[in-house]
Chain A
C-alpha cells in the first residue's frame, strides 16, 4: 500500500524524504524500520474490513490506526482506548458558510491526525518566519488508535443562528434537572464537541489542540476534560476496568462487536426522524465528582452494598463471577447496579465509554477526581434520562458523588470518503 492510497485528504504526499514539508509520523517510523510501519498498515486494513460491516474490531495492536471513514463515526463502538481529551466548543462566528468551512477543515485535519500524520504543512520545514501548521508534539508517535468524534449541541440549532432550527432532531432534548445536580455552567453545554480517544495521551491532546487552533476566530473552547483509566469497556472478553472508587462498574455494557445491540440501542435508525442523523447517535457527557476522602472511610460492607457487587471479583450480590447475571432482588433497593440495570428501567440501555479523571485538588485539599461519564444511545429520552432519573432519586452512591457538569450532543453519522465531511448532510 502506498502512502497516497492511505492519504484520504488528497493532500500532497509529505512522506517523501526529499519533500520540503517534512515527513509524516508514519514515514518517520518507516525510516526507523519499515517492517514496523508495514505492520501498522496491515492492522489498519484489518480493522477497516470489520468496521465496514457496522461493528468494530477487538483492541488492535498497540499504536494501530483506526480508520476514519465509515458509516458510523469511529470512537463510539470502537474498542475503548486508554486516554481521553474531550472538548466542548462555542461557535463564535455568526456566518453559516464559515461554520461549514470549518467543519470541512476539521474533517481533513482529523483524517490526517487519525492516520498519524501532522496537519497542514507539517510541524517543521516550512517558512522560517511563520509558525508551523502542526504543533508538533505528536511527531514520531504512532496513530495510537486515535479516534475523533464530533457532536452538535442543542444551542447550534437555536433560532436565528445558522438557520438550523428546523433540522434539530426531536431526540436532541435538553436534559431535565436531576435531584442532586450541582452543575457548573463553565463545565456544561457547548455548540460542538470533539471526543478524542487514543492509547497515548499526547496524541489525544495534540488532536484537540490542533483542532482548537484551526477553529480560532470561528470557535472557541468552552471547556474540556482529560481522562485516563477507561471505566467501562466495549470489549466483553476483557476484565471490566475499575473506577476511582475501586469498583468494576459498567460490566454489562453494549459490546462494540454486537451489531444487533448497537442497531437497537446506539445507532439512530432511518425512521427515527431527521434523515441527516441516520447512523448517528446521541451523546450525554457528565462530569461526576466523587467524594474520594469520605468514600475511602466507608466500611467495605457499605461500599459493596452500595454497588451491589463485591470489590474483589466484581461479582453481583450472591454470585461468584463478575459476569454472572446479577440477581437484582438480592441487592438493596438503593444499590447502584440494581437501579442502573435495564430491567429496572424498562430495558433502557446505553453504551458507556467513560473515563476517570483527576484534576489535582480543589483548594480545600480534596482530590478533584471522579468519572467523566460518556454514554451513547439511539435516543436520550429512552436512554440516559430514565436511567439517571432512577439513580438520582434512589442511588445510595449519591452520598459519595455529585454531578457537576453536563452536556448533550447529536453525533452525526460517519464521514464516508474524502469528499464527505462532518455534518455535510446537516448543512446541505
Chain B
C-alpha cells in the first residue's frame, strides 16, 4: 500500500466523533460606524498610512507629494499586462502602485491579487507599496472579506496589512524585514 493509502486508512480507523460544522454566519461580528477611521487608525501602528483621495486629486499626486524623489515606479493600476518579465526584474523597484480589491476595517488588511501573476514578486520586492482600493470596498471583518474574494481565480492572493515588520530582536518592532519598508493605502 502507498503511504497515502496507508495514512488515510489509519486516519479513518482512528478518527474521533465530532460535532457538525457550525454556521459561522449565525454569530454577530463587530461592525464599525466609520470603517475608514478604524482602518486608518490601525494602519498607523502597522507601519502604514491610509488616505482618502480628495475630489479631483489623483493617485499619482498623492504618491508624488509623499515621496518627491521616487526612483523606479511601477504602476499596475495603469499597466494592463507584463511583457516578458522575470520575477527578479522587480528587485530595484522603489515604489509599486497596485490595485487592491478590498480592505478590512478590523485589521487594516488589503486583498491583493492580480490576473497576471508575473507581478507576484513585485508586491514583496518593492521598497514602498501603494495599494489603491475603491472606497466602497471597505468591509468590517475578515468574514465579510472572504465572502467577496474569488480565491482560486488567480492562483495567488494576499491580505497585506501595513509594511513588512519584525520584532525578533528583543521584541523591538522594526519596519522593513524582507518586504516593503512602507505602505500607503489610497481609497479612491
Genuine A/B complex: no
Interface residues in chain A, defined as those with a beta carbon under 8 Å from any beta carbon in chain B: none
